Amino acid sequence: MIKTIGNLRLISGTSNQALADAISRKLNVSLTPVKISKFIDGESYARILEKVRGEDVFIIQPTCYPVNDHLMELLILTDAVRRASAGRINLVIPFFGYARQDRKNLEREAITAKLVANLITVAGANRVIIVDIHSDQIEGFFDIPVDHIRALSRIAKYFKKLDLRDFVVVAPDEGSVKVNNKLSQILGVPLVVISKQRDKTKVDSFEHIMLLGDVKGKNVIIIDDEINTGGTIVRAAELLKKHGAKEVYVSCTHAILAGPAIERLEKAPIKEVVVTDTIPLPEEKRIGKIKVLSLAPILAKTIKAIHEDTSLGKVLEEWRKV
């Protein structure tokens, strides 16, 4: 067994203090105090307030809204820890901003997800822990180890405990077939796919929508990696109701819920929206139909395994059991 590096240290940025606190409680390790502030001109400032020389440091900071501020804060914290001579620097990034910019769709575009990966590495990170990143290929953008945690098991356990009857799982588009197929296998229910052909001359419109499977008289579960403005999920729910579905349950890992998302979800024919706490949910967005599941337990176990240099594979295998 490899000798562990110093003591376990947890540092939280400002983007999701509640999740960091929950991880801290699970590990029974206090958060290392830091000073994070902004100068009057908008520049970010960070200082570690305790000695971390030789320690095994885990910085917890999803790069959610406002993405640029939280990303810059993460980079500055990483640099501060590196300059404080930490033994190893691990970044826990439950939500990875810029993940959708993972390829060039048009000429002269940036591949920003790769740029962010480079920035994180140059800042001094030795390892990254992420949750349900938008595209698996982003793992390859890093030249340091990446541990990719999946929230599917936590979500599947929730639905299994509901002991639901007459259910099918529906993939809202072809891109989400893989995760929805896994959920259907775990729950032992059929998979239905919504197939869409986009009209490229119009924004947010489709030439043709086809339902591959039957939802008439069935309750429905839809899962996706994130809900941004809610347009896709709401349209899917409306389509399913038109085809005779009973109740529609929606789930995602990352509750971005930007712009008109909350208003859309409130009005939509959706019974419940199940999300995780990778992104903090402010009080004004905590509508009655939203249920928040915590990923603090699996993130704490992941941190513990990495710190102790024990098998992370065994931790994740146990996590996947439903």
Q: Has residue 2 been placed in a domain?
A: no
Q: Has residue 182 been placed in a domain?
A: yes
Same domain, 94 and 199: no
Q: What is the largest CA-CA distance in the chain?
A: 62
Same domain, 22 and 115: yes
Q: How many CB atoms lie within 10 A of CB 127?
A: 16
* Annotated catalytic residue, options 196, 202, 241, 242: 196
What's the pLDDT tens digit per position in 26-77?
Answer: 999 999 999 999 999 999 999 999 999 999 999 999 999 999 999 999 999 9
Same domain, 202 and 161: yes
Q: Residues 67, 97: contact at Cβ < 8 Å?
A: yes
Q: Has residue 1 been placed in a domain?
A: no
Same domain, 167 and 287: yes
Same domain, 282 and 191: yes
Same domain, 177 and 206: yes
Same domain, 133 and 156: no
Q: Which residues pair with 89 in a beta bridge?
A: 57
Q: Has residue 204 been placed in a domain?
A: yes
Q: Residues 64, 100: contact at Cβ < 8 Å?
A: no
Q: Residues 263, 287: contact at Cβ < 8 Å?
A: no
Banded pLDDT at 1 (limits 50, 70, 90): very low
Same domain, 197 and 93: no
What separation, in Å, do the N-terminal and C-terminal C-alpha atoms of the chain show?
A: 30
pLDDT at 172 over 90: no
Identify the CA nearest to 144 among candidates 165, 131, 126, 156.
126
196 among known catalytic residues: yes
Q: Has residue 163 been placed in a domain?
A: yes
Domain total of the chain: 2
Same domain, 158 and 31: no
**pLDDT of the residue at 119:** 98
Q: Has residue 196 been placed in a domain?
A: yes
Query: What are φ and ψ of residue 231, in 5° steps?
Result: -60, -50
What's the pLDDT tens digit per position in 284-301?
Answer: 999 999 999 999 999 999
> What is the signed CA dihedral for 39, 87, 140, 72, rounded to 10 degrees?
0
SS3 227: strand
Same domain, 86 and 208: no
* Domain assignment of residue 210, given as a range: 152-293
Arithmetic mean of pLDDT, 98-106: 92
Pairing of strands 44-48, 34-38: antiparallel
Same domain, 289 and 300: no
pLDDT at 254 over 90: yes
List of residues 6+ apart from 224 with CB closer than 8 A: 172, 176, 179, 232, 233, 251, 252
Question: Residue 304: enclosing H or E segment and its boundaries?
Answer: helix 296-308
Same domain, 303 and 264: no
Task: Report the CATH number that the domain containing residue 57 is assigned in CATH.
Answer: 3.40.50.2020
- Average per-residue pLDDT for the chain: 91
Q: Comparing 99-113, 130-144, 170-184, 206-220, which segment has the lowest mean pLDDT?
A: 206-220
**pLDDT of the residue at 316:** 86
SS3 92: strand
